[in-house]
Amino acid sequence: MAVGRGRYRLGLYSAAAVMAVSLLPMFTGETASMAYFWTLLQFLSLVLSLNLITGFTGYINFGHIAYYGYGAYTVAYLTTITQQNPYLFIPAAAIVSAIIALLVGKPLLSVRGPYFTIATLGLGEASRTIIVNLPFFNYSEGLPIARFFKYDAFSSYISMWLVAVGLFAVTLFIKRSRYGVMLETIREDEDLAETMGINTRRTKLAAYVLSSSTAGLIGGLTAITYVYAHPGFFSISINVAVIASLLLGGGGTLLGPVVGATSYFIIADTLLTRFPYLHLIIFGTIIMGISLLLPRGLVYLVYKTPKLRGLFSDA
């Protein structure tokens, strides 16, 4: 069995391949493929950021999208009142999301399993309801920011690319660190983790805050690219798509999010263009099939093949 860095070879190679391919549109400068790959990168980043909590600790988080929305609204609101370049407020988006995650996460993470899932389910919806009733967020119309800066496709593309690369690095770092092992112990058996002296509460909270603040970062960048923050940022369907692709790939790994996000994105996009009316029916069927036939994600196929298993024990 390969040890050390070799254990993540497959994950690293595939991540490097996706990142390299997504650099290509930068050189051709073709708008259509840049838009396509930007959306892929954004989706991949969301899956990677959700992986930090759901993949590593097994807590299914339906409230992830709320932080994405907070990030978008933070950037748009600060841009509107100061009339500065919105890229200045990207750190603020991450900080606001992190603070909210710290406050919300503390009580939220004291419940487990389906209770956690259901409690988070309302976070996005409740946030959306509150925001559309607030006058300084312009009710349900949202905050357009196009007039405050000159939109540039390249800078928005490169910043999303950097976020994705950064999230890969963070995932790899956690995976290789003692902290990652603590998170995985919580996923496998939380009571055992507690017995072994792991401060489960603090460990989970740190993962939740990290995951949520990166979601805020992605939301902020998305608001800049859309030049608009609107209540649609809190849509539960994005959250579910992110969870579905994480589970499709296999959570808590480096390879899983890459495989899951790219295959989900390509399948969903192809279905949408080929079958504009029936795509969600077909998609529902595919999701049901995957959850019945591949109950540990596509990455599980690697483990089932003895030859590959020896090479990439921990993709």
Partner 1 sequence: MVTSPDIFLQTLLNGFLIGAVYGVAAIGLSLVWGVLGLVNLSHGALLIAAAYITFLLYVGLGAPPLVSAPLAFLIGAAAGLLFYKGFGKRLTSTDPSYSLLFFFGLALFLTNTILNLLGPDVRGIPWLIESAALGPVSVSVARLISFGLVGVSFITLYLFINKTFYGKAIRAVVANRLGAVTAGIDVQWVFAVCTSIGFGITFFSGSLVALVNPFTPSSGDGYLMYAFATVVLGGVGSIVGAFLAGILLGIVESFVGVLFTQGVSPAVAFITLVLVILFRYGRR
CB nearer partner 1, residue 116 or residue 157 = 116
Smallest gap from Cβ 80 to partner 1, in A, equals 24
Question: Considering only 43-51, 122-130, 149-157, 209-217, which stretch makes contact with partner 1 by CB under 8 A?
Answer: 122-130
116 neighbors 108 (Cβ within 8 angstroms): yes
Angstrom CA distances, 313 to 176, 247, 252, 302, 308, stand at 13, 19, 13, 9, 8
Q: Shortest gap between Cβ of 103 and partner 1 (angstroms)?
A: 13
Contact partners, residue 204, CB within 8 Å, separation at least 6: 53, 57, 59, 105, 109, 183, 186
Contacts with partner 1 in 133-152 (CB under 8 A)? Answer: 133
Contact pick of 139, 278, 304, 305 for partner 1 (by CB under 8 A): 278
What are all long-range contacts of 197-201, with beta carbons under 8 Å and residues at least 24 apart? 201/109, 201/110
Q: Taking the complex as a whole, how short is the minimal distance between the CB of residue 155 and partner 1, in angstroms? A: 36
Q: Among 20, 295, 306, 307, which residue sits at the site for partner 1 (rule: CB under 8 A)?
A: 295
At its nearest, how many Å lie between partner 1 and the CB of residue 1? 25
Taking CB under 8 A as the criterion, the residue among 31, 85, 177, 291 binding partner 1 is: 291
- Residue 231 sits in the site that holds partner 1 (CB under 8 A): no
Site for partner 1, residues 239 to 258, rule: CB under 8 A: 240, 243-244, 247
Residue 148 has, within 13 A of its CA and on its CB side, a CA count of: 21
Burial of 111 (C-beta count, 10 Å sphere; 0-12/13-18/19+) = middle
Binding segment toward partner 1, per CB under 8 A, in 3-11, 64-72, 225-233, 279-287: 279-287
Distance from C-alpha of 28 to C-alpha of 35, rounded to nearest angstrom: 13
Chain positions contacting partner 1, by CB under 8 A: 58, 60, 107-108, 110-111, 113-115, 117-119, 121-122, 125-126, 129-130, 132-133, 236, 240, 243-244, 247, 277-278, 280-281, 283-288, 290-292, 295-296
